[in-house]
Structure formats: structure tokens, C-alpha cells
Structure 1
Amino acid sequence: MHETAHALGEARTLWELVDRRAALTPGRPVLLQGDRTLTFGGLRDGAERAAAGLYAMGVRPGTVVAWQLPTRIETVLLSVALARLGAVQSPVIPFYRDREAGFALRESKAEFFAVPGEWRGFDHTAMAERIGARGVFEAYASLPDGAPSTLPAPPVRGTDVRWIYWTSGTTSDPKGVLHTDRSLIAGGSCLAHALRLSPDDVGSIAFPFAHIGGPDYLVMLLLYGFPAVLFEQFALPGALAEYRRHGVTTAGGSTAFYSMFLAEQRKQPGEKLIPTLRLLAGGGAPKPPELCHAVVREMGCLLTHGYGMTEVPMITMGSPDDTPENLATTEGRPPAGMEIRIVDGEVRLRGEAVCQGYLDGGRSADAFDSDGFLRTGDLGRITESGHLVLTGRLKDVIIRKGENISAQEIEELLHRHPAVGDAAVIGLPDPERGERVCAVVERAAGAEDLTLDAVTAYLRGEGLSVHKLPEQLEVVDALPRNDTLRKVLKYKLRERYA
């Protein structure tokens, strides 16, 4: 089976990978959600029908289609349908609101925008109208449908840019990250081969499929031929019934997920939380070694953690055959096709899984060094065994539940508040979230005291996404600064409030 997976991983395009897997195991399930099951053959055939429907709407190879949809079977079908057409797709995280979604649509010049209608109390269709989106259509319970015989030939080049993913990074506006089918297949292959999975496994996707981890996971399912349970909304203990019902063997997502599972396990010590679970796996945020040891000890399963980012969906990954110490203290090893270079302590990367740059060409020029290595902004070192250890970040970014949050964006909004003289936003260690968002503000002269509720209400009113809202507020007379350019010394704030 491992040889078959490696052969499939050589597919030029995502659609070729879908088609080849469907020919191998058409009747095996790939997606499970509630009482619904979609097979590999059904994924191929349903995506072709949806592609024909999109084609009839005017979507052509190269057409930019943005979509902001929850984790559903229809979402995966739509994404694969766009891959079949050779369209350029721009997934937008479902909890982005007017500010971020509007920016993504304008920058990508999207000609179509798929939304879920009203979802979880928010009207995405109304938002699409407010931000001037073009070609808006709802794709929640049903998709465009047509006859596959009307379709042009599928794309054959896997190195063309067909994906625009969005990451906050260190700037206030999101950055459009350019990917190809081959870069996403390379990232998913790294994940799949490291985890040593088999057709007998049952996975789970409890994070937004619009995240770069979505295609990562889909590629893994296609390579190894096993299914995953989809969670449109994830919360514990509510989701446990689905994990148990489908016999999930591998779960996870990020450090926050590990903490949530462990908290539930501690409510019933001695009784395995998910009887079939043998592996928790994920990435996206720092992983405290003690958390890894606690999961293994109390949940009775392995925990393998990896390192990835929107620009490079999978860089390194822990493997079940790693030592307990390496699993707890490192981010795993890179695959054969990933070159890691440490320059002045910074991790730099080159390989097929690395993105093609950014939508903003100026940012692309700054992102790569003269040898073509991507500057990650992360600090780290390589051990004698070839494992990567991350030691910090150059970038001023907060990683909360695996999602990048720009401190600068929140600071710029806080600076507009009449009661704020100055502001600094930092990430603080948090056992459940990886990091929590803390706003430290100088009170403006003569202003009344600020409260966390008042600040978050103001930021909501400014259109900031809920997942970026501060969870902690500290009001100070003066922010600590250096003696030269009066730059705020954030490390002192982290030391003070951690």
C-alpha cells in the first residue's frame, strides 16, 4: 500500500490524483458526515457534475473563484470541481468578516464568490452584497449541476498557480499565498507518509476545510484510500459521539485540539475517551512537551506534531516510530524533498511544497533569499538525528488555535479608540489555545478606564473577526520602550504578563 501511495503522489494535478484513486477504489468511503457517506467514486463523479454546472455559469480555466464555506461534503466537492476545471480558487476562512473577506476578494479579483447563505447566525450573502462581491452564489446544501460531457479536458500542468490562500502574517492586511496543485500534493504527501497510515484508518477534519490543512488532509485520504469524518462545527464533548460512531483512529488539528481532548479524558480517567483512537496529530502552534507526555500517558495514544504554514503546508512531521523524547520536544523531520537551512538562527526552506510567492509581487521578492530559500521568520535548529526544534519567532504574529493573527492589525484598530494613547498586542502562552491575545494599552490623557468588554465591543464594531479579539486587557501608564527609536519592548510585556 505504501508503494501505491508513493505512485499516486506523483500525480501532476489534484484532479489526476482524484481520478486515479477513484479508479482504484471507487466504492470505498472518503467522506463521512452525520448519516451521509461519499465514496471516492462519488467524489470524482459529483465533482464532475458540479464542474459542469460551474462551467455553464461561466467558470473557465483560470477564472478566479473565491469560496467561504464551512467544512461540509459539498465544500470538498466544490473545491475538487474547481480543480477539475483548472480554475483559480481562493478559499476564505468562514469566520472572516467584511474587512478580511472584502480584502481577499478585491486583491484576488475574484469573478465568483460561493457562500453558505446564513450560517451560524451570520448572513454571508448579505455580507457579499456589502463588500461588492461579483458572481455570488450559495453552495451549502446543493451545488451547480450539469452534464460532464460539456466539460473541456482537465488540466495537465500541476505547476500553474491555481490556489490563493490567505494568511495574516505580520501585516494588518492578509497576504495572498500562491500555490500549485503540485505544491499542495507535496505537502499532503509529507503528512501522509510521516504518519504511517493505512486504508484501515479513519481520520477526522474538525478544522475549517478552507484552511491550508484542508487540501493537505484530502491529499492524504487520496493517497492512502481511507475516509475522514467531517465536522461542520466542532465542540467537545458534543463531537465525541461522531468520533465513537465512526471508529476514528486518528484525530487532532492543533495544540488547542490536544488540550480539549485531554480535558475531556480527565473527566473519565481510566476509560478511554475514543476507544479506537491510536493517534493525535497536528501542527500550527507551539506544543508544550508536558502536553505531549500527558496525552500519551492519560489518553493511551501517540501524539505526533508537525511544522507547517500557509506558505509551506507541511515542512516537518513527527512519526509514530520517533522516540518519545523526539515526539515531545521536536517538530519531526522533513521529507526527502524539503531542504531546511538555518541562517543566523532563522529557518529557511526550499522544495516542491513551498509556495510560489505572494499575490503582491513586492512581498515575494522580500520573502526569498538569493538561493531561492523562503525566509520563514521562525528560529530553530536541527538536531543530530535530523529533527527540527523551533526556538522562537522573528515575526510579530500570534498563533491562536492554529490560526495566525496579526498583532499590527489589532493595534491599528486600537489606536483609533479615543481612550487609547498607545497599544501593543502580544501573544501569551495558553494551555488550551496555544497562545491567547493580550492587548496592553496606554490610557489617553483624561480618558476613563477601559474594560475588556468595552474594547472587544469596539473591535467587533470595527469589523475585526471574532477569533482575533483579545482575551486579556492590561491598562498601563506607559508602555516599555527602548532609548533610541522608542520602540515598544514587547518581550518585556510578555515577561510581565505571561
Structure 2
Amino acid sequence: MNDTTAHALSASRTLWELADRRARLTPERPVLLQEDRVLTFGGLRDRAERVAAGLYGMGVRPGTVVAWQLPTRIETALLSFALARLGAVQSPVIPFYRDREVGFALRESRAEFFAVPGVWRGHDHTEMARRLGAKGVFEAYDTLPDGDPSILPAPPADGTSVRWIYWTSGTTSDPKGVLHTDRSLIAGGSCLAHALRLTPADVGSMAFPYAHIAGPDYTVLLLLRGFPAVMFEHFALPEALAEYRRHGVTVAGGSTAFYSMFLTEQRKRPGEKVIPSLRLLAGGGAPKPPELYHRVVREMGVQLTHGYGMTEVPMITMGDPEDTADNLATTEGRPPEGMEIRITGGEVRLRGEAVCQGYLDPAQTAAAFDTDGFLRTGDLGHVTDSGHLVLTGRLKDVIIRKGENISAKEIEDLLAAHPAVGDVAVIGLPDADRGELVCAVVERAAGAAELTLPDVTSYLRGQGLSVHKLPERLEVVDALPRNETLRKVLKYRLRERFGTVAGP
């Protein structure tokens, strides 16, 4: 029955239609939990309509561009659905971004309104917005605009118009404005819902910024399957564990770094489940070493399913909890019906409803799609005979040493299994003789002995790695640099830090 219901709901044309249809089905069931607060599906619809009326009174109309930089809160979800009710164009901005990224997003999107949280975690967002010359600045933290829904125009009926501008991380240059529709976001969330096999008895969690593309992706999952999620305004372990236990979370995750964080907490109390109700870790957004999968399953006693997505395509493939251990450890899962994957020159290319409409910059759009309309991902991989996608690295992450291509991911996956390695990033550094040399940057595991380059190369030789791929340099750091969304390692910072040219 739940599969049939979810399938029917996934045909909704717009996010507002999806929220309204779910509210009619299960109005009293909770959808968002935060500390002692509970928002039901019916409450989401009804309160969002009042917020929409308040926004309408401020001058927000269908097509109005509204940027918002808000933390992961119930109020943020209400504001976002209110904007969806109006048919406004939303430009979510990660709350950790500062003047450079925020100013760029406001200018490029031509936002007419900007919602901020006021002073949040010591930073005055309102003052920053005014410093940047933002238009229509208003605070939306505890208090939201309010009005009488009777003044509202009809909800939008078209789900294929661009109503979302998401921003890539901008780790190497200015971020790119990614154009999404309600239907592309629903398609992404439907992929997640189909793969994870969740039920109304589950309790999920949002430990990532709601302003990330994962925000609507996960919310669509909740609307399709009819279960709630716990929202974390600020996620940190072990502090967050009490909320996971209090609400009986059954599904957690976010990305590879989150799996490692939960595993670290589990190791503090072996033999006792760190979250008794937890049965599944799920996520994506960064490569997952196979050994990490096996450690999580073995030590935490839960299943782990990993997927593949990006800002341009929120969900491409996802692991199935009922798949084989080998597939779950070594692949990104299979694509849903309607997602076409083509491998061209080793690059993964995509076409389907979940794929974005392009970028704000038409030149970037033209460069991103091939002549058949497939999005160039920049990721390398192949599809197995069973239809599972295996990622082998990034086009920009191939190290070229003496004319030979070396996959950084292959070396990272092997080193991740070393008992002294907590986390690792392999990068290519400029070298006068070889073009590039292989450098392994390692976070040492807690309590591990000192690690040397001979230790690393000896271990990799024992794992069968070809001699020409062995690292020629080892750097041990206290912590790898990461972004603030899904905790993805920022390799460009490592290249900047260690990238001096070697040679005579």
C-alpha cells in the first residue's frame, strides 16, 4: 500500500501539490521534529499557506526571486514551502557562506528579497546583507511573515518552470547557479524513496544544511513515504546523540564523513549500540571506501547504503539495503527508471527528469551538455553487467605521472583500510621531472602509531598496487580540510598548501 501511495504521490506536478496531497492523506502524522517541537504534514501545509500570505503582503509574487540563508530549522522548511505555494523562484544559500559567496549569489540571481536569521552562531547575517546591498532583507528565524490565505492566488500548476537556483560549492572558482524545477527535485527524491525502502514506521534525520540540494531531496522522501525526520540546526557528535536516541531515529547519515563520525562514537562503547533504534546509514555526496562499508556493518550492526548525486542532479543512483554486500561496498547503486547513464571516454554522463535545466550562465550550460542532451558530470566510472554504477575518480582528479594516468581514488580506497589511517586524500602535485608526483595526505586514526612513507608504500605494495602508482610523498595532518555541507574534502586547499614544484 505504501509503495502504491508513494508512486501516486511522485506524479505530483509541483512540490506544493505534493505537500497538499500528503497533508490530505495523513494530516496528523509528524513530518519534522526538532527538540520538543513537532510539525505535522497538515501543519506544514496550513502554516506554510499563512506564511505565503504574509510574503504576498510584502510583495512576493509568482516568479519573484527570493534568496534565503537560513539554518536547518522548522521555520526554514515553512518559508521554503510558502515560497513554493506562491510559485516564487528560490535561491537557497548555505548559512556558513560569507560576503564573497553570498554577494555573488545575490548579484547573479538578482534576488528581490533576502531572508536571513539575524545573528546566528556569532555572525550578524542582517548586517552582512545590508553591507552587501541586498534588497528586501527580512529576518526569518523564530518569527515568519503571516497573513490570511484567502488573499492568495491559485497555487502554481506548472512543475517544469525554473523555480530553484542552487549554488555549487565554488571550491575552485565562483559558484555556479544551478537551475532546477519542482519536477526535477521530485524526481530526485523519488529515486531516494524507491531505493531505501523506508516505511511510515521509520524516523529519519537531517544533519546537513537544509539549504543544500539534499534539503528538498530528503523532504520529498518524507512526503512520499509519510514518515518524520529530526532536524539538527547544528550537528556535532557526540552532542547530537541524545536527540537521535530520544526520537528513536532509524535512518541516519549524510555522507562518508558522517559514517566515519558515527563509527568513531560506536568505538567508544563496543558491544553497545550507540543509537539503539538505528538500522540504516544512508547518504552520498563523496566517495565511500569499501572498507568503511565493512567496518560500519561489522562494528555498528547496521546496514549502509551509499548513493551518487550532485547539485545538478540531486539523486542519480542509490544503494538498495537488500543488495549484496559486495555491491553495497564497491558501487554507488543503480539508477531509477528514467535516469539514463552513458559512459563516454570513461566519463559518466546523465539524462533524465532529475537533471537540472542548466546554469544561470548560458555559456556554462552550453559547455555542460553534449549534443545528445547528456550532462557531463566530470566523474569517471563504468556500469557493471548488473546495472550498478562504479565511480573510479574525477576527470580533474587523475594524476598524470610520466605520461601515465593514475586514479587518486584507487589509492585512497586501499589506504582507507590501513589501521593507522583515519582518513586520506591523494593528490597530484607539480613536479619538474615527472609532471606530477603522487602525494598521500593522511589523518592518523585515533591512538595510531606514527606513519611514515616507507610504511605506506610497503602496505600498498602488499595490496598489489603497481609500483608506478605508489605515493612519493606523505603528509600527515591533524584534520583534512572540508566544506561545511556534507563534509567533503577540499583537495584544492591541499594542493595550495603542499603544491610547491619539486626538482632541480
TM-score by length of 1: 0.82
State the match for 2:93 in structure 1: 92
**After the TM superposition, which segments of 4 or more aligned residues of structure 1 sit over 2 Å from their partners?**
168-171, 395-399, 426-432, 465-481
How far, CA to CA, are the matches of 1:429 and 1:218 in structure 2? 35
The question of whether the paired residues in 2 share the 8 Å contact of 1:116 and 1:140 is answered with yes
CA shift for structure 1 position 168 = 3.2
CA shift for structure 1 position 429 = 6.6
Counterpart AA for 1:149: S
The change in CA–CA distance for 1:473 and 1:99 in structure 2 (over 3 A counts) is closer
Counterpart AA for 1:43: L
CA shift for structure 1 position 394 = 1.2
State the match for 2:501 in structure 1: 478
CA shift for structure 1 position 154 = 0.3
How far, CA to CA, are the matches of 1:172 and 1:258 in structure 2? 29
State the match for 1:306 in structure 2: 307
How far, CA to CA, are the matches of 1:219 and 1:466 in structure 2? 23
How far, CA to CA, are the matches of 2:229 and 2:441 in structure 1? 33
The change in CA–CA distance for 1:337 and 1:429 in structure 2 (over 3 A counts) is farther
The change in CA–CA distance for 1:147 and 1:476 in structure 2 (over 3 A counts) is closer
Q: State the number of aligned residues.
A: 431
State the match for 1:29 in structure 2: 30
The question of whether the paired residues in 2 share the 8 Å contact of 1:170 and 1:395 is answered with no
How far, CA to CA, are the matches of 2:48 and 2:360 in structure 1? 27
SS at match of 2:102: helix
SS at match of 1:80: helix
CA shift for structure 1 position 367 = 0.5
Deviations 1:24-59 (A, max 9, x none): 000000000000000000000010000000000000
SS at match of 2:108: helix
The question of whether the paired residues in 2 share the 8 Å contact of 1:278 and 1:302 is answered with yes
Residue ranges of structure 1 left out of the alignment (5+ in a row): 400-406, 408-423, 433-451, 457-464, 482-498
Correspondence list, 1:151-166, <5 A: 151-166=152-167
How far, CA to CA, are the matches of 2:386 and 2:114 in structure 1? 47
Correspondence list, 1:368-387, <5 A: 368-387=369-388
Counterpart AA for 1:109: R
Q: Greater shift after overlay, 386-395 or 13-22?
A: 386-395
Deviations 1:236-273 (A, max 9, x none): 11000000000000000000100000000000000001
Counterpart AA for 1:117: G
Counterpart AA for 2:234: Q
CA shift for structure 1 position 316 = 0.2
Counterpart AA for 1:229: V
Counterpart AA for 2:57: A
Q: Greater shift after overlay, 155-164 or 125-134?
A: 125-134
SS at match of 2:233: coil
How far, CA to CA, are the matches of 1:206 and 1:152 in structure 2? 35
SS at match of 1:478: coil
The question of whether the paired residues in 1 share the 8 Å contact of 2:199 and 2:225 is answered with yes
State the match for 1:9 in structure 2: 10
Counterpart AA for 1:83: A
State the match for 1:410 in structure 2: none
Counterpart AA for 1:207: F
Correspondence list, 1:30-45, <5 A: 30-45=31-46
The change in CA–CA distance for 1:155 and 1:480 in structure 2 (over 3 A counts) is farther
State the match for 2:229 in structure 1: 228
CA shift for structure 1 position 115 = 0.3
The question of whether the paired residues in 2 share the 8 Å contact of 1:170 and 1:396 is answered with no
How far, CA to CA, are the matches of 2:99 and 2:151 in structure 1? 36
SS at match of 2:263: helix
Correspondence list, 1:413-432, <5 A: 428=441
Correspondence list, 1:206-245, <5 A: 206-245=207-246
How far, CA to CA, are the matches of 1:323 and 1:127 in structure 2? 50
CA shift for structure 1 position 282 = 0.1
Counterpart AA for 1:235: A
How far, CA to CA, are the matches of 1:368 and 1:253 in structure 2? 28
Correspondence list, 1:6-405, <5 A: 6-168=7-169, 171-395=172-396
CA shift for structure 1 position 129 = 1.0
Deviations 1:289-327 (A, max 9, x none): 110000000101000000000000000000111100100
Counterpart AA for 1:31: L
Counterpart AA for 1:349: L
Correspondence list, 1:452-471, <5 A: 470=493
Task: Among all aligned residue pairs of Structure 1 and Structure 2, give the percentage whose two residues are the same amino acid.
Answer: 77
The change in CA–CA distance for 1:123 and 1:260 in structure 2 (over 3 A counts) is same
How far, CA to CA, are the matches of 2:321 and 2:499 in structure 1? 47
How far, CA to CA, are the matches of 1:479 and 1:311 in structure 2? 37
What is the aligned-residue RMSD (CA, Å)? 2.8
The question of whether the paired residues in 2 share the 8 Å contact of 1:330 and 1:389 is answered with yes
SS at match of 1:390: strand
The question of whether the paired residues in 1 share the 8 Å contact of 2:285 and 2:488 is answered with no
How far, CA to CA, are the matches of 1:24 and 1:165 in structure 2? 30
SS at match of 2:105: helix
TM-score by length of 2: 0.81
The question of whether the paired residues in 2 share the 8 Å contact of 1:95 and 1:466 is answered with no
The question of whether the paired residues in 1 share the 8 Å contact of 2:286 and 2:488 is answered with no
Q: Greater shift after overlay, 160-169 or 85-94?
A: 160-169
CA shift for structure 1 position 475 = 5.6
Q: Greater shift after overlay, 123-132 or 67-76?
A: 123-132
Q: Greater shift after overlay, 389-398 or 279-288?
A: 389-398
Counterpart AA for 1:176: G
How far, CA to CA, are the matches of 2:391 and 2:195 in structure 1? 19
CA shift for structure 1 position 395 = 3.6
CA shift for structure 1 position 427 = 9.4
Residue ranges of structure 2 left out of the alignment (5+ in a row): 399-407, 410-426, 428-436, 446-476, 482-486
The question of whether the paired residues in 2 share the 8 Å contact of 1:256 and 1:431 is answered with no
Deviations 1:389-431 (A, max 9, x none): 00010146999xxxxxxx9xxxxxxxxxxxxxxxx9x995769
Counterpart AA for 2:276: P
Counterpart AA for 1:309: M
Counterpart AA for 2:327: N
CA shift for structure 1 position 130 = 1.2
How far, CA to CA, are the matches of 2:331 and 2:93 in structure 1? 31
Counterpart AA for 1:237: P
SS at match of 1:313: strand
How far, CA to CA, are the matches of 1:132 and 1:480 in structure 2? 49
CA shift for structure 1 position 472 = 8.9
How far, CA to CA, are the matches of 1:466 and 1:346 in structure 2? 21
The question of whether the paired residues in 1 share the 8 Å contact of 2:257 and 2:488 is answered with no
How far, CA to CA, are the matches of 1:184 and 1:218 in structure 2? 10
SS at match of 1:76: helix
